[in-house]
Amino acid sequence: MPVQVIVGAQWGDEGKGKLVDMLSEHADIVARYQGGANAGHTVCIGDRQYVLHLIPSGMFHPHITCVIGNGVVIDPVALLDEIAQLEAAGVSIAGRLLISHTAHLIMPYHKQLDVIREVQSSNKIGTTGRGIGPAYIDKFMRTGIRIVDLLDRDVFARKLTANLEEKNKILTKVYGETKIDVDALIEEYQAFDKRIDDYITDTALFLNTELHRGKKVIAEGAQGALLDIDHGTYPYVTSSSPTSGGACTGLGIPPTAITSVLGVVKAYTTRVGNGPFPTEQHEEAGVRLREIGHEFGATTGRPRRCGWFDAVAMRYSAMINGVDTIAVTKLDVLDDFDEIPVCIGYEHRGKRLRSFPSDLSTLERISPVYEMFEGWKTPVSGVRTYGDLPAKARRYVEALAALTGTRLWVVSVGPRRDQSIQVP
Ligand code: GDP
Ligand code: IMO
Ligand code: MG
C-alpha cells in the first residue's frame, strides 16, 4: 500500500506544488490532507503558472484522481472559483476530483472573525485571513458544519441557525459588526451544494479501496512542519497538522500505508507572517534572496521574510516527519552569492543547544552558529544532470542532506517541470 507523503519541511512555500506535479507522473491519486485556501501551491507548465489553493497539485496530469480529504477545511467560494479558473484554462476537472463528505466548511463568519481578530489582537499571528483558525475552532468545538450537512437542507438550516445565534452575538456585541442574515446564507450555500454535489464522496473508503488494489497515492501536505499546530513555533503556526502524521488523520489512511516521506526544502529559508526565524537576514542578504527568489506570497502577495538554511530546524523537522528523502528547491537563487552561510547549531547563553527549543522565549534568544560554504558563481538553471552541477553546488546540497540526516533525492534549479534534477 504505497503512500508517499510530501511535506513542507520549513515554514511553507518550499515548492511542494512543483514536486507534487513532478511526482504525479508515476502516481495514481493525489490527496490533500489538511489546511485550506491559506495554501498557495505553484505549478509551472511551459510559460504558464498556476497557483492552487485547495485543489491538489496533481490535477495537471489527466490520469490522476485528486482528493480533498476530511482534514481540509473547504471554502466553497474559493473552491468553485478555482475549479472555474482551471476549466477556463482547459483543465478538465469532471470525474477527477473527489471531496470528502466529512471535511468541514469555511463559512463567511470564519473569514470575518479571522480578519477582525488579527486587526484587534495585540499578538498578531499574521494569518492569511482565509478563515482557517476559526473553522478549525468550530470543528474541535464540535459545532462545525461539514460537507455532508450541505446535502440535507433541514440539517444545514438547523446547524447554521444554531451557529449564527452565537456568531451574531460575537460579531455585534464583541466586535461591533453587523448581523449575518441566516436565510440569505442558507440560500447561498444551497447553491454551492448543487455545484459540488457530484464531487462529494467517502474519500477514506475510496483511498483505502484503491490502496488495496495497489494504486499509488501521493499525500500532499500544505504549509510546513514548523507551522504545525503541535510541533511548530506555537502560537505562530497554522491551525492544522501539516506534518506527515496529519496525512493519516486527514485522509483516513493507516500509518502502515505510508512507505516514504519526502521533505521539500528551499536551499535557504523563508517565512510569511510573524514568529521566530533564527536565520532571518534583515539587511542586504535578505533583500537579495527576496528579489532573486521572487519571494512574495502565492496566496496573499505579502513579501516573504528571507534568511539562510537552518539545519537545526530542518533536523528537527526531519525527526518529527520521518523524512527519508529531501528535495532541495531554488538552488538557482544562490548562484551569485560569494559565500553561503548555513546554520549548523544554536547557542543559548553561551551553551550549545542539543535540540530545537520548544519554547519561544529560548528560540527568540538563540544565536545561530554558521558554517560558510563557497558559492559556485555559475548559473545552474540550465543544468539537467547531477554530475553537471558545479562541484561547489553539489557540495552545498550534499551538506544540507548530511547535516539533516536525510538522503538527497531531487535538486530543483527553476520553477519549470524540466528544471528538476534527480540525484543518482
Ligand atoms: P508551495 O506552497 O510549497 O507549493 O510553494 P509556492 O508555490 O508557494 O512557492 C514556491 C515558488 O518558487 C513558486 O513561485 C515556484 O514556481 C517557485 N519555484 C519552485 N522551485 C523553484 C526553483 O527551483 N527555482 C526557482 N527559481 N523557483 C522555484
Ligand atoms: P503553503 O501551503 C506559508 C502562515 C501564515 C501565518 C500562519 C497562520 O503555500 O506552503 P493561517 O491563515 O494558516 O491561520 O496563518 O501560517 N501560512 C503559510 N505560510 N505558506 C503557506 O502555505 C501558509 N499557510 C499559512 O502566513 O503566519
Ligand atoms: Mg505556497
Is a pLDDT exceeding 70 seen at residue 103?
Answer: yes
What average pLDDT does range 351-359 have in this prediction? Answer: 92
User: Is the pLDDT reported for residue 127 higher than 70?
Assistant: yes
**Percentage of the chain with pLDDT > 90?**
95
CA of 273 to the centre of ligand 2 (A): 7
Query: How far is C-alpha 332 from the chain's CA centre?
Result: 22
For residue 14, which ligand has an atom nearest its CA? 1
- Does residue 10 sit in the same domain as residue 41? yes
What average pLDDT does range 41-49 have in this prediction? 95
Report which ligand 1 atom has the smallest distance to the Cα of 8. Answer: 3
Shared-domain flag, residues 250 and 334: no
Kind plus residue range of the DSSP H or E element containing 398: helix 391-404
> Could you tell me if 281 and 134 lie in one domain?
no
- The overall longest dimension of the chain from CA atoms, in Å, is 66
Half-sphere exposure of 225 (CA within 13 A, CB side): 27
> Is residue 46 over pLDDT 70?
yes
* 49 confidence band (pLDDT: 50, 70, 90): very high
Q: Which residues pair with 43 in a beta bridge?
A: 50
- Count of beta carbons in the 10 Å neighbourhood of residue 338: 8
CATH number at residue 165: 1.10.300.10
* Ligand 3 centroid to residue 72 C-alpha, Å: 16
* Residue 277 DSSP symbol: -
Decide which of 243, 262, 281 is a domain's last residue. Answer: 262
- Inform me whether the pLDDT recorded for 298 exceeds 80: no
Q: Please check whether residues 94 and 144 belong to one and the same domain.
A: no
Phi, psi of 332 (to 5 degrees): -60, -25
Residues, CB within 5 angstroms of ligand 3 (ion) = 13, 40, 298
* Full domain range(s) for residue 133: 104-195
Please tell me if the CB atom of residue 8 comes closer than 6 angstroms to any atom of ligand 2. yes
> Which of 159, 177, 195 is at the close of a domain?
195
Are both 371 and 384 inside the same structural domain?
yes
Distance from Cα 14 to the centre of ligand 2, integer Å: 12
| Ligand 3 mean position, distance from CA 96 (Å) | 23
13 part of the active site: yes
Atom number in ligand 2 closest to CA 127: 15
Say what the pLDDT of residue 12 is. 98
Pairing between β-strand 339-348 and β-strand 351-352 as defined by DSSP bridges:
antiparallel
**368 and 331 within one domain:** yes
Ligand 2 lined by 208 (C-beta under 6 Å): no
Q: How does pLDDT run across 237-271, given as a tens digit for each residue?
A: 999 999 999 999 999 999 999 999 999 999 999 99
Annotated active-site residue in 13, 21, 138, 149: 13
Averaged pLDDT of the chain: 96
Ligand 1 surroundings by CB, under 6 angstroms: 8, 12-18, 40-42, 44, 298, 329-330, 332-333, 412-415
d(CA 39, CA 292): 22
Number of domains in the chain: 3
Confidence grade of residue 191 (pLDDT, cut at 50, 70, 90):
confident
Q: How many CA atoms lie within 13 A of 303 on its CB side?
A: 11
Examine the domain organization and report whether 165 and 214 are in the same domain.
no
Residue 1 reports pLDDT greater than 70: no
The verdict on the CB of residue 127 being under 6 Å from ligand 2 is yes
CATH of the domain at 223: 3.40.440.10
Same domain, 288 and 401: yes
Q: Which three cell numbers mark 67?
A: 482528493
| Dihedral over alpha carbons 32, 33, 38, 41 (to 10 degrees) | -30
Identify whether residues 92 and 226 lie together within a single domain.
Answer: yes
What type of residue is 349? R
- Whether residues 214 and 157 fall in one domain: no
pLDDT in tens, 130-179: 999 999 999 999 999 999 999 999 999 999 999 999 999 999 999 999 99
Given 157, 178, 195, the domain boundary residue is 195
Per-residue pLDDT tens digits for 214-243: 999 999 999 999 999 999 999 999 999 999
Pocket test for ligand 1, best of 265, 330, 413 (most atoms within 8 A of CB): 330
Q: What number does the ligand 2 atom closest to the CA of 300 have?
A: 26
Q: Is the pLDDT of residue 192 over 90?
A: no
Residues 159 and 275 in one domain: no
Q: What residue owns the CA closest to ligand 1's atom 28?
A: 415
* 313, 399: one domain: yes
CATH number of residue 273's parent domain: 3.90.170.10
